[in-house]
Amino acid sequence: MNIISQPPQFLTNYARGWVGFISRHDNFIADGIDWFSRWDELDHVPISHTFNIVGQDTTVEALEPEVSYGSLHDYLDDPEIALLVRKPRTRFFERICNQAILRLGDKYNNRLIAALALNETFLGRALNKFSLGAFESWLVRRALRPHTWDCSMLVTETLRQPDLIPLGGVLTWTPGTVKPIDLFEDQNLFEPGAIELVPSSRQS
């Protein structure tokens, strides 16, 4: 995937309804790599978190203990974090924002995180392979609770818009099984490429 680094400019390289993704510095390949070429060295960008962008400096994200507002500048000001954004292939940006805001106050689903972690163990991978994915689906269904979310489940739900549903991608997956990296790499739901928002002070 092509990733370009740019200073953040609201309404130019990010806007309401876009989706944000976080990659942490300790997951990058090396501290000394040139800033503008580091992504070219990675086969897969190590994404650890995702959220909805609902304003110039406002996010809605599922974090312990509940879905709440957040600040983009909290990520932009942290040198250990890379903030990437992608633009959904939709015209329903306001609906995406409104559906995210409707979930404010809903609880974070720790059961779902535990289920996904169990699925990633050696035993879980073996059982999932043997069952052709049925083990993961069974784990997740047992963990799901009404009005509870993890970060990628929340974002995926807000992307269920009339012009995105026919595109397929992760929207066809069992609810709760989508991980942040799965969402980030979905080429059906987003415009090509991603943008890393980098304050000018961090580009020198």
Contact 202, 10 (CB under 8 A): no
pLDDT in tens, 22-78: 988 655 443 433 434 444 545 568 888 999 999 999 999 999 999 999 999 999 999
In this predicted structure, the answer to whether residue 198 has a pLDDT above a threshold of 60 is yes
pLDDT of residue 32: 39
Estimate to the nearest angstrom the gap between the alpha carbon of 138 and the chain centroid: 23
Is 31 strand, coil or helix? Answer: coil
pLDDT of residue 101: 98
In a domain, 114, yes or no: no
Domain of residue 57 covers: 3-109+145-202
Residues across the chain = 204
In this predicted structure, the answer to whether residue 178 has a pLDDT above a threshold of 80 is yes
In a domain, 132, yes or no: no
What CATH code is carried by the domain that includes residue 63? 3.90.1720
In a domain, 122, yes or no: no
Nearest to 13 by CA among 204, 149, 197: 197
Q: Predicted confidence band at 117 (pLDDT cuts at 50, 70, 90)?
A: low
pLDDT of residue 74: 95
Q: Which two three-digit tokens encode residue 191?
A: 């415009």
Tokens 């026919």 appear where?
A: 166
* pTM of the shown model: 0.83
In a domain, 125, yes or no: no
Mean pLDDT of the chain: 85
Is 121 strand, coil or helix? Answer: coil
In a domain, 136, yes or no: no
